[in-house]
Chains A and B, each alone.
Chain A
């Protein structure tokens, strides 16, 4: 399974232009990469979020695939119902069997927080679906609030900076590992800049007979406070600092997908976005050092897990 730019250029469009996503937004890039990579028709389930409200404003829709949005937390369960319907209708001879992908796009709020139970249930039941978490580290659709994916020290509208608090106090949860603990066939982390990595992982995830989950880092220039033109550069910085390593857990085997040639210190990440401007002050050096240590520990732990597998 390889993906070439030449083949990509020949693919028909998967998400119609004219939608309302911001200039420089990662989400449409992720969606198009995922749907291109599938190479087969998809039925899509969306969680409530920027992607859904920006692509479906009645009477228009940007969706060229059949798509359903039900609520914020239940996108994984909605696709469970679609997949179950497909199985039942084919079994009863009312629908012709064909190769379709069942795909969910949901943000980090819908995945890490409000929809965790619904996702966990769908994973445990083993439906055949590919779940793409488009992770922009916060509730951006409702106006940049902290989520379970936001790291400590981050400014958001619910973790503002003041004399008593320097942004979010808590660390993020390790959602990818939580999903991997469900022992589903395929789990991965990717990022919007790593198109080849993401598309290869989508193909692996779509090929398994069961659930697959890919957690994709997706910078939000409005929430992260950076220039729209820097989306891809900033996404790359997340992997170069090892804040967001690229790896996969393929049938239980942990494999590193990318090892940065030279690890960048986390300060470069903080300098690249306005949401971290307070961390550049001298009095917050202790906080920054603490975050660097945390990233170092997690990186070391990941390397340990990936030991023995080729990368």
Chain B
């Protein structure tokens, strides 16, 4: 039965529980259902769609959230840190340069083990200034102790918003967590999103009961103490442990979510890899394009496959290696640069995962989509064919392939 649902400023038609939402609106829809205690956000393109849609929920009195309209992204996360230390469930959202401005406090949030949730709408870093999608922002936070899940479409933007809430607050984890969705490609694309009833979400995310709170009158606690060299390393060791614990917690949460919704996700997702000789590894919205390219190639008799990494932090090295164990040619799609390095982030991590397990397919880094450069099926097919040529002729081999760039 069709009914009217209001999300953001768009009036949309809903059939059953499928609602037409953009990725950003889907995140705001999830936030409205989670009803975080504190939300601190600063507007930046392409994230703005989230802050606008959520502000409407606040204005309409649909949430009990205390919304803090901060004066910068650094302040957004700083306010979340104060709120989370005070026992509140806190959310923020940002993009590219905003995430760069937060950098200092990203480590403060994880070092204090505060389960803050962030929605990152990926955007290229300046300069040159560019508002479109790539992963240079997300990759710059990879070493700072945040659990990172990469979504592919508006449905996953919604689903992951709920999933990261659970992961972050799990007692064995207690790490800030980020729902990474591609700027514009996902944030501004409207698709049918199956939303859960409010009460199902409420029971899935539960209520947050903090271990320590600044507002607990019985336990007066000091947060953010000076750690001399006798202790700093051990506290970092505990973060290593928390991040290790996060991997089975993410896997179990994805499974529970699958049982609840019928939408089954994994740390690493394989597509037509069972007999694949040539495989592309991918994160984010490019995954769908790669699957279409694989379908096309399969029709031509090419044994192509896709390994899509959803959970980037912690990095599921064993699962990635398992997925690639039969492949002879592997291209790792990176949507960011690590200037001066032998390859970009995902490539180096896949290489480490394989090399630790004595697996040595021919491995190429495939850089694509920087600054929102479109990556159509044709370009992905070209990557597959170049990979296959490199597999046949050793003299053609190059460590990094820059897809779709004008030389």
Among B80-88, B130-138, B142-150, the one that faces the other chain is: B80-88
Shortest distance between the CB of A66 and any CB in chain B (Å):
4
Q: Can you list 8 A-B pairs with a CB-CB distance of less than 8 A?
A: A66-B216, A68-B81, A68-B85, A78-B78, A80-B68, A85-B82, A85-B90, A100-B215
Shortest distance between the CB of A28 and any CB in chain B (Å):
16
Shortest distance between the CB of B97 and any CB in chain A (Å):
16
**Does chain B have a CB within 8 A of A124?**
yes
Q: Please encode chain B, from 35 to 70, with 1 for each CB lying within 8 Å of some chain A CB and 0 for all others.
A: 001101000000000000000000000001110111
Contacts A43-B86, A84-B38, A85-B87 given; indicate if A58 touches B228 (C-beta within 8 A).
yes
Nearest B residue to A78 via CB reads: B82
B217 close to A98 (CB less than 8 A): yes
Q: Quick one: which of A45, A67, A81, A121 contacts B71, CB cutoff 8 A?
A: A121
Contacts A66-B214, A81-B83 given; indicate if A91 touches B64 (C-beta within 8 A).
yes
A73–B81 CA distance with the chains assembled, in angstroms: 14
Q: Please encode chain A, from 39 to 58, with 1 for each CB lying within 8 Å of some chain B CB and 0 for all others.
A: 00101011000001100111
B225 close to A61 (CB less than 8 A): yes
A80 close to B71 (CB less than 8 A): no
By a CB distance below 8 angstroms, the chain B residues around A57 are 225-226, 228
**Does chain B have a CB within 8 A of A169?**
no
A67–B226 CA distance with the chains assembled, in angstroms: 12
**Does chain B have a CB within 8 A of A71?**
yes
Shortest distance between the CB of B148 and any CB in chain A (Å):
22
**Does chain B have a CB within 8 A of A146?**
no
Shortest distance between the CB of B269 and any CB in chain A (Å):
36
B223 close to A68 (CB less than 8 A): yes
Q: Please encode chain B, from 87 to 119, with 1 for each CB lying within 8 Å of some chain A CB and 0 for all others.
A: 110100000000000001100100010000000
Contacts A71-B78, A71-B108, A81-B80 given; indicate if A88 touches B38 (C-beta within 8 A).
yes
**Does chain B have a CB within 8 A of A64?**
yes
A120–B79 CA distance with the chains assembled, in angstroms: 14
**Does chain A have a CB within 8 A of B221?**
yes
**Does chain B have a CB within 8 A of A79?**
yes
Residues of B within 8 A of A (CB): 37-38, 40, 64-66, 68-72, 74-75, 78-88, 90, 104-105, 108, 112, 207, 214-217, 220-228, 231
Rank and list the top 4 A-B pairs by shortest CB-CB distance, nearest first.
A81-B82, A121-B71, A85-B88, A85-B86
Shortest distance between the CB of B116 and any CB in chain A (Å):
10
A120–B88 CA distance with the chains assembled, in angstroms: 24
B88 close to A89 (CB less than 8 A): yes
Q: Quick one: which of A56, A59, A64, A82 contacts B83, CB cutoff 8 A?
A: A82
Shortest distance between the CB of B342 and any CB in chain A (Å):
34
Chain A, 116-146, CB within 8 A of any chain B CB:
117-118, 120-121, 124-125
A82–B40 CA distance with the chains assembled, in angstroms: 12
**Does chain B have a CB within 8 A of A63?**
yes
A120–B80 CA distance with the chains assembled, in angstroms: 18
A71–B224 CA distance with the chains assembled, in angstroms: 9
A121 close to B70 (CB less than 8 A): yes
Contacts A65-B220, A88-B64 given; indicate if A81 touches B225 (C-beta within 8 A).
no
B231 close to A58 (CB less than 8 A): yes
By a CB distance below 8 angstroms, the chain B residues around A284 are none
Contacts A71-B105, A120-B71 given; indicate if A85 touches B66 (C-beta within 8 A).
yes
A69–B66 CA distance with the chains assembled, in angstroms: 22
* Residue count of chain A within 8 Å CB distance of chain B: 47
A89–B83 CA distance with the chains assembled, in angstroms: 10
Contacts A78-B81, A82-B214, A121-B75 given; indicate if A69 touches B69 (C-beta within 8 A).
no
By a CB distance below 8 angstroms, the chain B residues around A74 are 74-75, 78, 105
By a CB distance below 8 angstroms, the chain A residues around B87 are 85, 89, 95
A83–B83 CA distance with the chains assembled, in angstroms: 8
**Does chain B have a CB within 8 A of A77?**
yes
Contacts A85-B66, A86-B215, A124-B71 given; indicate if A67 touches B37 (C-beta within 8 A).
no
B226 close to A58 (CB less than 8 A): yes
By a CB distance below 8 angstroms, the chain A residues around B207 are 94
Apart from A81-B40, A84-B79, what are 7 other A-B pairs with CB-CB below 8 Å? A46-B224, A67-B221, A70-B105, A77-B75, A81-B85, A82-B82, A89-B37
**Does chain B have a CB within 8 A of A261?**
no
Nearest A residue to B81 via CB reads: A70
By a CB distance below 8 angstroms, the chain A residues around B217 are 41, 98
Shortest distance between the CB of B155 and any CB in chain A (Å):
29
By a CB distance below 8 angstroms, the chain A residues around B69 are 125
Contacts A61-B225, A71-B105 given; indicate if A85 touches B78 (C-beta within 8 A).
no
B82 close to A58 (CB less than 8 A): no
A185–B41 CA distance with the chains assembled, in angstroms: 26
Shortest distance between the CB of A111 and any CB in chain B (Å):
15
A70–B37 CA distance with the chains assembled, in angstroms: 20
A64 close to B72 (CB less than 8 A): no
By a CB distance below 8 angstroms, the chain A residues around B112 are 70
Q: Quick one: which of A56, A82, A120 contacts B86, CB cutoff 8 A?
A: A82
A56–B217 CA distance with the chains assembled, in angstroms: 20
**Does chain B have a CB within 8 A of A281?**
no
By a CB distance below 8 angstroms, the chain A residues around B223 are 67-70
By a CB distance below 8 angstroms, the chain B residues around A120 are 71
**Does chain B have a CB within 8 A of A6?**
no
Nearest B residue to A72 via CB reads: B104
A56–B227 CA distance with the chains assembled, in angstroms: 8
A83–B70 CA distance with the chains assembled, in angstroms: 14
A88 close to B66 (CB less than 8 A): yes
Shortest distance between the CB of A179 and any CB in chain B (Å):
15
